[in-house]
Amino acid sequence: MHPAPVGVDEAEPSLPTDAEMAAPYEPNLRPVFRPLWVISPQTPLPRGITLGDEAGVQTVTFEERAPRWKQWSREGLSLVRDVALALVIALLIGLFVIQPVYVKGTSMLPRLREGERLFVNRFIYNFSKIERGDIVVFYYPKNPQESFIKRVIGLPGDEVTLANGKLYINGRLVPEAYLSSDYTTIVSPPRTWIVEPHHYFVMGDNRDASNDSRNWGLVPEMYIYGKAVYRYWPLTEMGFIGDDEEVLAPLRRLQRMEPQRDLPFAE
């Protein structure tokens, strides 16, 4: 005894006669469907055979399950692809956006200490200007193979003066609340610098032991390749690097002497 067709009554449906096929269409008559397959769990359809209605609409596809080793291979290839994509993204971020650096020396005490590891944003100055008070990483002008980290003090066009341990920019006294009295004990003779176009005057926060613009001059804009934004080591000091706006306000509210975009490029 054959099992009943799927989706139909127990009685076998009769086929329409020629007279019924030639009769005019009556909307109240139900259409007659002829089953194409009789299936059961004991007699499954062969591989690649589909079950459909008479209109040809595909409803079910019967296929054999792929071998286990093929499933593992697909999963393995998918994992390798995801890992490779993650590595490519990390490489692009490292090359163009974020770069880890290692603090060597004590010129930025008390803000940064030797041995700390930082993330530098290499992309930020493509969309914003370098500001006074920014802690930047740059190639040392006397030896571009080395990198220094200092604080920006003077912008292009500024007149920077150090006298009696005080900082003057464009003739105005600038309080430096980000400094510590423990690292500003040495008072040098008064001296003034004029910052050239597309150059910057930088100093370390440890004024007693910093090799900076006071010693070797200005930093070309093209040598500045990033801003220190985050300390990730040691874990106890992890966090964003920066001073309160109130601390930097005396530096940043000073008007720029000349717009950067109107200055000729330095040779």
Q: Return the active site residues.
A: 107, 150
> Cis ω on the peptide bond leading into residue 144 (within 30° of 0)?
no
Handedness of CA 82, 87, 93, 99 (dihedral sign): positive
Instruction: Specify whether the CB–CB gap between 230 and 118 falls below 8 A.
Output: yes
CA distance 21 to 53: 19
- Alpha helices (H) in 58-101, listed in sequence order: 68-96
Pairing status of strand 143-154 against strand 199-203:
antiparallel
Q: What six digits make up the tokens of 206?
A: 């440890």
CA atoms within 13 A on the CB side of 209: 10
